[in-house]
Amino acid sequence: MSNGTCAKRSTPALRKALTNRTDAGLPIHGFPSLLGDLATVTHNTMAIAHQSDTTFVIYSQFTPTQARAFELLNVNAKL
C-alpha cells in the first residue's frame, strides 16, 4: 500500500503461520514438498512363488495428507 501500512492477516492465516498446520491439522505444504509426499505412494504387483500367473496388487497406506490431496483432486489413486 502506498501509505506505508501493511495488510493484516486474518486469525486463521495467523494460526496457520504459527502452527504450520491447516485448520484440519494437516501439515502445510508447498507444491514441491507436496509432490515429495505424494511420491511415496506405491503400487506393488506381487506374484505367488511358483505361480507367476497369480498376482495381486498391494498399495501403500495413504497418509492423511495424501488422502486429502487425492480427494481434492478428485483422483482415484488406486488404479
Round to whole Å and give the CA distance between 71 and 43. Answer: 18
Residue 58, in any domain of the structure: yes
Q: What would the mean pLDDT of 20-31 be, rounded to a whole number?
A: 90
- Residue 65: predicted pLDDT: 94
Interval 12-25: pLDDT, tens: 888 888 999 988 89
Residue 44, in any domain of the structure: yes
Round to whole Å and give the CA distance between 79 and 77. Answer: 6
Q: What would the mean pLDDT of 46-54 be, rounded to a whole number?
A: 87
For the whole model, what pTM was predicted?
A: 0.68
Q: Is the pLDDT of residue 2 over 70?
A: no
Query: Given its phi and psi angles, is residue 33 left (phi above 0), alpha (psi -120 to 50 degrees) or beta?
Result: alpha
Residue 24, in any domain of the structure: yes
Interval 54-75: pLDDT, tens: 899 999 999 999 999 999 999 8
Q: What domain count does the chain have? A: 1
Residue 6, in any domain of the structure: no
Residue 4, in any domain of the structure: no
Residue 2, in any domain of the structure: no
